[in-house]
Amino acid sequence: ETVSGAQLVAEALRAQNIEYMFGIVGIPITEIAIAAQAIGIKYIGMRNEQAACYAASAVGYLTGRPGVCLVVSGPGFLHALGGMANANLNCWPLLVIGGSSDRNQETMGAFQEFPQVEAGRLYNKLTVRPSSLEVIPAVIEKAVRTSIYGRPGSCYVDIPGDFVNLQVNKSSVKYVGCCLPPPLSMAEQSAVSEAASVLAQAEQPLLVVGKGAAYSRAENNIRKLVDLCGLPFLPTPMGKGVVPDNHPNCVAAARSTALQHADVIILLGARLNWILHFGLPPRFRQDVKVIQIDICAEELGNNVRPAASLLGDINTVTKQLLEEFSKRRWKYPSSSQWWKKLREKIMSNEEKSKELELQNSLPMNYYTVFRHIRDLIPRDCILVSEGANTMDIGRTALPNYQPRQRLDAGTFGTMGVGLGFAIAAAVVAKDRTPEKRVVCIEGDSAFGFSGMELETICRYNLPILIIVVNNNGIYTGLDADTWSEMLKSGDPATCAPPVSLLPNSHYERVMSAFGGRGHFVTTPEELQRALRASVADRRAPALVNVMIDPRSERKKQEFPWLTRSNL
């Protein structure tokens, strides 16, 4: 009995418990998608490989099992590189399967010939081309295993076009079972005691919860640690919800103050990269003591020499810390000067935001729009957010109460991820938590990167609510009158500001063109009506296009020299 290369790939994926595949079919990989569907893998056909790859990577983060991105040779493979890099930098598991030219045409200028294996190495933890059909199952097992073991990341498997329809005897195939779940590593006991001692002496402690904590499903233990030790905590953007944002110890509204004055910082699956200003002055104390908890040994000591290094799985190490603190009863006093300072800052920042939220001027500003969104969307929805101001302001304005329910531009700051992430979240929610809605909040510029995925959303009838916060540009835009005036002075290529987009673009009509619901909104009343209607209809995709003041910006920061980078 024989089996084809396409069937071997599909069966190997099934054997590794892969559930979801995203891609765009064509020569030479169409048969792989057909074979995958035939054995029960869900295939979602996208409109651009980049969005397909972003979607597959989000599945990896949400489920802990890599999603698959299936692409054709050459340009198809190249368009997926953005998704591979994004997954690797976010430390999310991903498996990309790319078709490549037939082996017997190598160096001849074959159709879409490209050195895919070599190119893939820069973007992946593992890049491999099976040497024969017989080893396909073993190679795919290794790729899936590599993507989830240690620090998760992207893996690429290259399938030559001539392998796809080639047949081989089943008896000669090297079949392998499903890889074991990732082994959990613990920190050394001496490092745990050292961390506890350093923390117990802290006068101004701070716990930073990163997306590594969300990925490792450490929420129950981290919540216990926060309560047991009474620690102030700050979530990173995608660490939001590991401990609910409305927990009394959350100091997100005093982020700059908390980072700048903490004397001991515990990093739970968060890196001292640009998002946390590298842990360096002036954003941190010169003498800050860092307790670093990370799954990746090479991450320990980056930018700041740690006072204690705890190498291991975040959930497991948090459990070790809990055990340590149940032995040496220590609770940080809620009456301290530090708490007083943090609470004052939280109050004053929240008052400033509230003031902006309650402004009645038209067109609306970001804060007013986000207040209505917050009041009307379901409390436990999955939030996807991307844009410049839209994402930055949305991070503080929209709370998360549960882990892994905020997806955004991430460590790589990637624009264009929104619709792919939303599709992935909706497909996973459909199977696992059908009552959960996906709400995707996009800047108008961010929306443009993969706007055609609205057709994908409508084709698979995913009840995603997309809200485009439209300021006619990138960071800021022009209103219609200013735009018309400007056109009088000449060609827009020479006189339109590089940040501007066409004013009053009707993005909602793209949604209605595909059969979804579109709403164009310019006032708070229209916004409330559109949101209520979209939330009430649990079956249809909807896009609410919200026109805001093109000059609306975020509230002034206390670090005037930082404009865009104060994330």
- Pick from 369-378, 394-403, 555-564: least confident: 555-564
488 shares its domain with 518: yes
> How many Å apart are CA 311 and CA 298, to the nearest integer?
10
195 shares its domain with 297: yes
pLDDT at 553: 83
Q: Where does residue 531 rank: exposed (0-12), middle (13-18), buried (19+ CB within 10 A)?
A: buried
**Domain holding 294: CATH number?**
3.40.50.1220
In a domain, 16, yes or no: yes
> How many Å apart are CA 112 and CA 119, to the nearest integer?
14
* Domains of the chain: total: 3
In a domain, 351, yes or no: no
For 284, how many CA atoms within 13 A lie in the half-sphere containing its CB? Answer: 21
Per-residue model confidence as pLDDT tens digits over 484-516: 999 999 999 999 999 999 999 999 999 999 999
In a domain, 293, yes or no: yes
50 shares its domain with 9: yes
In a domain, 8, yes or no: yes
Helices 524-536 and 366-376 pack at an angle, to 10 degrees, of: 30
pLDDT(522) > 70: yes
User: Which residue is it, tokens 């805001």?
Assistant: 548
327 shares its domain with 445: no
pLDDT at 563: 39
Q: What sections of 291-412 are H helices per DSSP?
A: 314-327, 337-357, 366-376, 389-397
pLDDT at 559: 39
151 shares its domain with 196: no
267 shares its domain with 398: no
β pairing state of 289-294 and 308-311? parallel
Share of the chain above pLDDT 90, in %: 97
In a domain, 177, yes or no: no
β pairing state of 205-209 and 233-235? parallel
> How many Å apart are CA 96 and CA 544, to the nearest integer?
33
pLDDT(561) > 70: no
pLDDT at 556: 64
pLDDT(567) > 70: no
> How many Å apart are CA 198 and CA 310, to the nearest integer?
13
In a domain, 349, yes or no: no
Q: What sections of 41-80 are H helices per DSSP?
A: 49-63, 75-79
23 shares its domain with 124: yes
164 shares its domain with 218: no
What's phi and psi for 450, nearest 5 deg? Answer: -140, 40
Per-residue model confidence as pLDDT tens digits over 3-45: 999 999 999 999 999 999 999 999 999 999 999 999 999 999 9
Task: Indicate yes or no: pTM above 0.95.
Answer: yes
Provide long-range contacts, Cβ within 8 A and 24+ apart, for 36-41: 36/9, 36/10, 36/68, 36/70, 38/10, 39/10, 39/11, 39/14, 40/14, 41/10, 41/13, 41/14, 41/68
Residue 218: which pLDDT band, with cuts at 50, 70 and 90?
very high
- Cβ atoms of residues 234 and 172 within 8 Å: no
Domain boundary among the residues 344, 373, 399 is at: 344
- Cβ atoms of residues 374 and 456 within 8 Å: no
Average pLDDT over residues 156-177: 98
pLDDT at 562: 37
233 shares its domain with 285: yes
**Among residues 106, 140, 114, which one has the least CA distance to residue 126?**
140
3-state secondary structure of 194: helix
Domain boundary among the residues 172, 197, 221 is at: 172
In a domain, 269, yes or no: yes
State which residues form the domain around 440: 359-547
**Among residues 372, 515, 367, which one has the least CA distance to residue 454?**
515
> How many Å apart are CA 114 and CA 97, to the nearest integer?
15
32 shares its domain with 117: yes
Average pLDDT, the chain: 96
420 shares its domain with 479: yes
260 shares its domain with 137: no
Domain boundary among the residues 114, 141, 172 is at: 172
Per-residue model confidence as pLDDT tens digits over 92-128: 999 999 999 999 999 999 999 999 999 999 999 999 9
pLDDT at 554: 75
**Domain holding 136: CATH number?**
3.40.50.970
In a domain, 539, yes or no: yes
